[in-house]
DNA sequence: GTCTATAATTCGATAGAC
DNA sequence: GTCTATCGAATTATAGAC
């Protein structure tokens, strides 16, 4: 009932924002504690494993927060197509509102560590696995078989992640608009099969 | 007619491979010249602009090489659907053959620099623009209108880039398989409209 | 063009007083 | 738990001999 934001929490939050925008190797630990308004020593007090331990926690927590966002969109949505369209429209809005900075919280790090840091690679894999499994469970409510629901979920993540790459680079939301349309087309195909 | 690989070319090639796998901030210039078997001084002889200039050249050249790969798949392919399926199947094969290292040559860098380095961000944007415009021109031959051809091309890149993120992280090709299927579904939808 | 030495800075991480 | 000082190794980049 006190301390709205502890030092440890501020470090994780600042780390999440910096890793999302600048990547893992592109972000320094000193940069993180400064942004968190935390003393440097606190970083190694709360994270004895150093940058890697902080990185892993950032990946897992922000990955789960992003999943919660997805679940909200489909919580009370009776129509699958509307839910998909709302997801991509919301992603486009957020991206534009943050000057094309806030896309996927872990994609940049995921690509950076895929071939270089096995512990962090596994953290990103666990997040993506949770997205796919939880998403498939939710989308299974719309009259799709288990395998179709899983494949549709993967297709949604594919299109979203890829559109984030194009949209951030090109600084426009055309790719996200197309991603919504192509995802809807795949959903209709699966619903009709 | 001589010198199969000059020093400058070896530096660019080594830089391309390292940037693709480890990213821009994750790759050191010493690491590049060492991999290229080049003297350190040669780097700043051929690239007075240092790491950034080399990075820009790597982005542009490997981006164009990847585009050439795409063009080969559709050069003598009479069927659009077959061409799409071949693209994703080939990407999956390459990825698996390289232990999930060789995916998109510029995606990691594109995400890293999108919010941090405007010159390199523009280089990635130029590459993606070339992909979209050239792709749209090629796919326009299959009975699609200009706008549909452009949107299908963007959808293909979306799905491919996103599936690369998932496949490299999860170390399997399921996402690439789904990406092929969802892209085919979108192509059929556009062909039928 | 090649090569070496080194400058100048930043990196992640640690020690130890408080 | 906070804070500072600092270490050693890395980073990019430059100078200058050959």
pLDDT in tens, chain A (193 residues): 444 679 999 999 999 999 999 999 999 999 999 999 999 999 999 999 999 999 999 999 999 999 999 999 999 899 999 999 999 999 999 999 999 999 999 999 999 999 999 999 999 999 999 999 999 999 999 999 999 999 999 999 999 999 999 999 999 999 999 999 999 999 999 999 9
Nucleotide nearest to B26 (CA to C1'): D11
pLDDT in the model for residue A2? 42
pLDDT in the model for residue A180? 98
pLDDT in the model for residue A4? 63
pLDDT in the model for residue B154? 99
Nearest to A151 among B99, B168, B181 (CB): B181
**In which residue ranges of chain B is pLDDT below 70?**
1-4
pLDDT in the model for residue B1? 44
Chains A and B form CB pairs within 8 A to the count of 165
Within 7 Å of a protein beta carbon, the nucleotides of strand C are 1-5, 10-17
Give the 3-state secondary structure of chain A. Answer: CCCCCCHHHHHHHHHHHHHHHHCCCCCCHHHHHHHCCCCHHHHHHHCCCHHHHHHHHHHHHHHHHHHHHHHHHHHCCCCHHHHHHHHHHHHHHHHHHCCCCCCCCCHHHHHHHCCCCHHHHHHHHHHHHHHHHHHHHHHHHHCCCHHHHHHHHHHHHHHHHHHHHHHHHHCCCHHHHHHHHHHHHHHHHHHHC
Our measurement of CA A54 to C1' D7, in angstroms, reads 22
Global pTM value: 0.96
Residue of chain A minimizing CA distance to B175: A154
């Amino acid at each position: 009932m006190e301390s709205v934001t502890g030092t440890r929490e501020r470090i994780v939050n600042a780390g999440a924002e910096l890793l999302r925008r600048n990547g893992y190797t592109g972000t320094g630990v000193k940069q993180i504690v400064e942004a968190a308004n935390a003393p440097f020593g606190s970083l190694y007090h709360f994270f004895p494993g150093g940058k890697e331990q902080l990185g892993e926690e950032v990946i897992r927590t922000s990955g789960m927060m992003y999943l919660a966002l997805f679940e909200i969109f489909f919580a009370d949505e009776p129509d699958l197509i509307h839910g998909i369209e709302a997801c991509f429209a919301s992603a486009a809005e957020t991206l534009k509102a943050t000057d094309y900075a806030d896309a996927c919280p872990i994609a940049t790090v995921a690509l950076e560590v895929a071939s270089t840091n096995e512990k962090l690679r596994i953290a990103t894999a666990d997040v993506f696995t949770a997205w796919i499994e939880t998403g498939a469970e939710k989308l299974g409510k719309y009259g799709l078989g288990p395998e179709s629901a899983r494949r549709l979920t993967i297709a949604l993540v594919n299109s979203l992640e890829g559109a984030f790459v194009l949209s951030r680079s090109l600084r426009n939301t055309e790719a996200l608009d197309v991603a919504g349309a192509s995802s809807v087309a795949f959903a209709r195909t699966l619903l009709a099969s």
